[in-house]
Chains A and B, each alone.
Chain A
């Protein structure tokens, strides 16, 4: 009963603190939005498009085909200089400059070269060139057909071009068809389905760590010492604080899960498995938070070291980028922190429709982390309370 009083006092103090609510709710959601928007559209090359200054119908047709090509994410620029600056700043993979003389050259029977600017050392640019080439080649096929037909019949190029467009629909061209072989992804889905689970992992941990500052503050202000003077056992205080931190971690997780599902349409997968994962991760965070509260001497230390430690561990564990893209040794090193196992489990649930059995190994490792952290935290806090009256 006394433990529950400690729990409710801690909960009330945290929930009354508007700064804490900012870190629990607003900040994670804001970061989810920014990262969710950023990590999307990776199946398209980003190109800058500089339309011809004298935009005839042929140049106009090429421009709109480049804008609508499914493999390209095109952004139009007024001047080549602006587009080059964006390319230099890596905002684009390539820049297509539609030649001013395109219409005149095509009508005169001259071959046309469409310049595509790329960073020479960045091979994404060369991939983008190939994608642009495919669109240009399809466009050129009609020009070739129109020129061939007008040469054969001595007719006008424009009439032949109009016929080529009609004939194209009837000519049953050889098509290139895509077929996805591997539907089981090694990565979280792009967009919010990437940012929401990874930020859940990151922020529940960081907030729990930062919450350790409150325990340090309570120790320093002598609240624990006064409580111990009453007939309250140290283990009761430790248990009460631990339950409070667990409830806060669980509450923050549920908020992120709920906001993710309702606002960002994140499908969290099998409910039982997702529930187990959220619970175990909340236990890991609780252990880390209480341990921080027991080990650090001043709240400043927690505020300084907590975020740095949390962000560093999050990066190592794949919260900021998928571990599949880092070197093998770093991926192995990343699994030294619990975050990597949590992200692996979310990947199984969100990308492979996994169930509880599929994430059992990840849950087991996380449970081991949680047990170790909670045990250490309880022992350390109890030791701190009983040996130095909480200071």
Chain B
């Protein structure tokens, strides 16, 4: 009996590696500490009522952002471990198997569990405020999306200590990711972790499209929407077309592994290349899903801190929409070397290059927004300005990669690694950081410390170039991606060492950001205006943090930068007092425990299927069904905030100002 338990435990828990043991111990300590703190301060009820069951888009957004910062830490540690291993030739710091797990989890976490939730976090917190809405279209579904993401991410991360991490690369090409070559449970964690959170992303896509189309404040026509809202819209359009493909692809891979189906196997007539096509039909649009909102953020920031209207609004919108369409016609450029023939390669090379045109036009529009403006170098603006050269260089190397015959030499090399990190860090990460700094006061009512922020900015920026510029040359010198070590003779040592130093500079930059947040929480100055940056769009017209109902009175929109115009008008009118607003009761959605419970059950469904434990998966699946029915039978899901309560809240929030 004891033997059996021991045998099970050694298969169940990942053992034998001091790094992992350390992680296990620290996770256990952290868990105990969290439980202790919550119990000691009697915060369990508060946590449940205010956060776990909330359907308020602002709180959901904040939870997304907290998770994504934790995931940035995890993915960043992965990156630094890889850089340590590669710093010198013939290093034996990490075993190849461990190295393979680390680059796989690094990729998955950074794209799906860091960039996506940070993006959704900003969508949630800001977008409804920008269009003058009181919530998203389906607040309940929104909470469900978040918890599905959360438990999907948990399921993926738990593989680190239980069962073993996936190690077949972030897109898990079969046959390597098939049962024959990856018999462990790691790939199952990969499939279920991504599947569960992916369904959440799909729901968010639908939710936000409806929100934008149906819930804009009166007067806000589509062409008067703030640019960030436009970017959310374009990104969500891509989501609803791309994510179903991912769902199917992962489901089929699972059928291969679980029921012995032959979709992507070599024998039985399966076709692994079909997987590669399918996964990139999702995977390529996916990178545009995350980059477009960054474009939106830059557009907002560049206008605000140049004190100028955004240049070329219409062409910006057009460019974004054309990118969303084109993003679906480029996927083959990820495997020009598969031998699809010259015709196919030419077609996809040209569609890929074509994306540079609208993207380039956007860059010029940002530049000319600054032209004849008054540029203020706040931290959000610094990230925006740094983005431009970084993204332009990254975009140009992307164009080089799109030249199909040349790609035969770039493909799978560090040139490619440097390219996509340049657009993903220089574009997406810089963009979301800029957005985080910019909207932080809207979320929490105070600005982050600018001094520490500038330190973080410079460390990240210098670190970025030091880390990734050498990798272009390493790629041209024949160094392929995903190798866990290399010989001294190759002469790659010095550039790799430089690259590692750069990686650590970015790591220090991250520490500065954490310090900045901690420091600002302790030493901040409360922002009482609700508009600390002299903003242009509606979210700055309400107090910070926004009250639960966002807008006491639904605004009426007349201009693109409506809040800016309103401020101009008020300034022109002099001290004339605004008429006292007339409040009406506000219709609000009620909190619900179902999203949390249902997603937790999904976790057990996933966990059960990972281990082939039907005794766990099937009851949990039934539980999911019961949750769906329970929701269908819930009719009492809304309430009204009465006028006196609105008056009290508004007086408290705006009282200081008046």
Q: Do A and B come from one complex?
A: no
Query: Footprint of B on A, CB under 8 Å?
Result: none
